[in-house]
Amino acid sequence: MATIVNNSNSPTAPITPPSDPSGPQLKRARPLFDPPIVRRALGDAFRKLDPRVQAKNPVMFVVWVGSFVSTILFLQDLMTHVGGWETAFVGQIALWLWFTVLFAGFAEAIAEGRGKAQADELRKTRTTTLAKKLGAKGDIENVGASTLRRGDIVICDVGDIIPSDGTVIEGIASVDESAITGESAPVIREAGGDRSAVTGGTKVISDGIKVEITANPGETFIDRMIGLVEGAARQKTPNEIALNILIAGLTIIFLLATVTLLPFGRYAGVNISITVLIALLVCLIPTTIGGLLSAIGIAGMDRVMQYNVLAMSGKAVEAAGDVDVLLLDKTGTITLGNRQAAEFLPLPGVSVQELADAAQLSSLADETPEGRSIVVLAKEQYGLRGRHLDEKTTEFIPFTAQTRMSGVNIPGQRVRKGAVQAVIDYVKSNGSSVPAELQNIADDISRRGGTPLAVALNERPLGIIYLKDVVKGGMRERFDHLRAMGIKTIMITGDNPLTAAAIAQEAGVDDFLAQAKPEDKMALIKKEQAEGRLVAMTGDGTNDAPALAQADVGVAMNSGTQAAKEAGNMVDLDSNPTKLIEIVEIGKQLLMTRGALTTFSIANDVAKYFAIIPAMFATLYIGAGQTHGPLWALNFMHLHSPYSAVLAAVIFNALVIIALIPVALRGVPYRPMGAAQVLRRNLAVWGLGGILVPFPFIWLLDQILVLLHCAPAQ
């Protein structure tokens, strides 16, 4: 099997490793009720009263129709001068039904407003930029960034704003991407690799690069981000569509049941008003989840964006909540990506102090993470510090791909460090022998998943430096966390199977794919999907694009190639592959929030039922001298009158939507647990709560209505 192309950080310029993966870090969080967002949402809520908008939501459209009919009945009563409690009652029902529709629109507008606020911030990053366009004859002219087209070549020097999205075709530079990601640390962008993509609006802060433009005006990454965070491209997900069908079905059932009560009441001699029937229908249909469903989906995309992840659709966020398998690249995701010196293993007859001394000498000019770690290990474990070499008599030997060695020549000492076979060949070429123990030690390190580096002093082998690919802190705990959620983790690496097995065991992943080629990744994803599982993976290279497109959740790194970003359905602006774990948790939280509020919505209809039904049939089978019939005994909350009971239930139905907006936006508290546990928790907390909570509040509203003379006491 061939070795996979390494998509880790470029070896030419080390990049700061991702933050500690032990916990997520919000970067774009904003207050739940930000005053500018609330002001905008209030206006949008009134605009959403348009029946053409309401018709898209069957449940709220029924409430809208009920509000309209109640308003007509109230106006008729006023015009016919009926007056009295009945007219006031109809007017109050109509008012609170309009509030119900308005509050549902406000919940959706608040969720949309958070996205629009992010879009406004992104628009501020777009400035009128001049670009140094390279002409066909090599001449440079200053042109406006808006005139650039796909295929144009521009020069970006220190301090220049990159005018549009593109690919670095020449040079290497540090780029400040804080305008896009919010992260202050610069990143390296260079030609010929998986870190060649640059984003318009970012700033070059060192060196210079030549960039080929890859997007026409209006098609740049920022333009796409603005459109997405505003929700213009948000489509209903399959789960959301299924839930809409369920609540629409419940609405139809309750509509039919309510309609039949009118002839039943007339037959029994009970005069049931149209207003009370409308109130009963609105209180029985799942208006709470109907009003909050859209807000929950929009808020899910917003929470992903708070983690600097751009979701191309709500479907991607929802799919993340159903993921069964995670494919994670080893280098830079599970491990730090930079091998660290862990131990000095001398040959027989060589002291470890001598080996450490030679290893440190050979690494003093080595600025790679591996070289620096060797110097630190020798200093910390063997007290070797304060080494000063005379520049005039010292010759440092740089590492090259041809020699696969580096080292130093000082008077009387020639130290070499490098790949085991390269050092063996070097020693033998100078007429010296190599003990068999050297290869035995190297083989043992390889079996443990490490990398051996041999050290020789004056053509005499001294021993081996054990380099270890360090697993990030907290990864085993995080994989245990995922396992508790029922998610299988698979590590993908280009390492040989022995090395891969050692790292997989240390990290605690469930399985691994060694020496993985692009077609191997695709085959693995298809195999898992064929068995009915949903698969998520991260990637940043062109060779990852097919697998990203095949995966149910494909998270492309913003630092990666354009092909990878177009293939995935999410883009991580921080280019931190471990973010996939947070994305899965957000997706599960979205599904749990939707399930919890659906359970609550259906359950609290029970309390409203016991408030309205006794009121409707209070005069059924009434005896002489009685004010209420025997069915009024169902009024165990001791509500004062039929008027106050119905009105209190309608008011509670409206106010509960406002009360649950924070839950819809923030999501229910998430804890890893299986599906059966989630169901039990929903029934115990949200189901039982949905039944019990309305009773005291409806009773309290009834008391307030009577106290304020908004409803008769009898």
Catalytic annotation, residues:
329
The CB density around residue 382, as the number of other CB atoms within 10 Å, is: 16
Query: Does residue 402 have a known ligand-binding role?
Result: yes
Q: What is the largest CA-CA distance in the chain?
A: 124
Query: Does residue 403 have a known ligand-binding role?
Result: yes
Distance between CA atoms of 361 and 383, rounded to whole angstroms?
14
Query: Does residue 405 have a known ligand-binding role?
Result: yes
Report which secondary-structure segment, H or E, holds 327. Answer: strand 325-329
Can you say whether the dihedral through the CA atoms of 305, 311, 314, 320 is positive or negative?
A: negative
Q: How far is CA 105 from CA 129, 288, 436, 659, in A?
A: 39, 12, 78, 14
In the chain, the amino acid numbered 497 is: P
Query: Does residue 76 have a known ligand-binding role?
Result: no
Query: Does residue 152 have a known ligand-binding role?
Result: no
Question: Cα 382 from chain centroid?
Answer: 45
Helical segments of 551-604, H only: 562-567, 579-603
Distance between CA atoms of 329 and 327, rounded to whole angstroms?
7
Where does 145-292 show beta strands of DSSP type E? 153-156, 166-176, 187-190, 197-198, 203-213
Tokens of 645: 């009971």
3-state secondary structure of 251: helix
Q: How far is CA 43 from CA 46, 113, 395, in A?
A: 5, 11, 73
Distance between CA atoms of 56 and 379, rounded to whole angstroms?
69
Question: Cα 676 from chain centroid?
Answer: 24
Helical segments of 513-578, H only: 518-530, 545-550, 562-567
Distance between CA atoms of 655 and 454, rounded to whole angstroms?
73
Distance between CA atoms of 329 and 579, rounded to whole angstroms?
12
Contact present, 110 and 41 (Cβ < 8 Å): yes
Can you say whether the dihedral through the CA atoms of 236, 239, 245, 251 is positive or negative?
A: negative
Can you say whether the dihedral through the CA atoms of 654, 655, 660, 661 is positive or negative?
A: positive
Distance between CA atoms of 402 and 595, rounded to whole angstroms?
60
Distance between CA atoms of 704 and 642, rounded to whole angstroms?
15
Query: Does residue 417 have a known ligand-binding role?
Result: yes
For residue 113, the cross-strand partners are none
Query: Does residue 109 have a known ligand-binding role?
Result: no
- The single-letter DSSP state of residue 211 is E
Q: Would you mind telling me the total number of residues written for the chain in this entry?
A: 714
Contact present, 160 and 204 (Cβ < 8 Å): yes
Query: Does residue 100 have a known ligand-binding role?
Result: no
User: Pick from 473, 587, 574, 581: which is nearest to 537 by CA?
Assistant: 581
Query: Does residue 306 have a known ligand-binding role?
Result: no
Number of DSSP helices (H) and strands (E) in the chain, helices first: 26, 20
Tokens of 388: 């000063």
User: Pick from 345, 453, 447, 474: which is nearest to 406 by CA?
Assistant: 453
Distance between CA atoms of 317 and 569, rounded to whole angstroms?
9
- The single-letter DSSP state of residue 574 is T
Query: Does residue 406 have a known ligand-binding role?
Result: yes
Q: Which residues contact 565 (CB under 8 A, 6 or more apart)?
A: 197, 221, 556, 558, 571
Query: Does residue 236 have a known ligand-binding role?
Result: no
Instruction: Assign 3-class secondary structure to 389-420.
Output: CCCCCCEEECCCCCCCEEEEEECCEEEEEEEH
Query: Does residue 480 have a known ligand-binding role?
Result: no
Report which secondary-structure segment, H or E, holds 648. Answer: helix 642-659
Can you say whether the dihedral through the CA atoms of 530, 533, 534, 539 is positive or negative?
A: negative
Query: Does residue 529 have a known ligand-binding role?
Result: no
Q: How far is CA 439 from CA 264, 352, 405, 422, 642, in A?
A: 94, 17, 17, 12, 92
Q: Which residue has the tokens 């905008």?
A: 40
Question: Which residues are documented as binding site for Mg(2+)?
Answer: 540, 544
Could you tell me which residues are annotated as the binding site?
366, 370, 399-406, 417, 540, 544
Query: Which positions make up the binding site for ATP?
Result: 366, 370, 399-406, 417
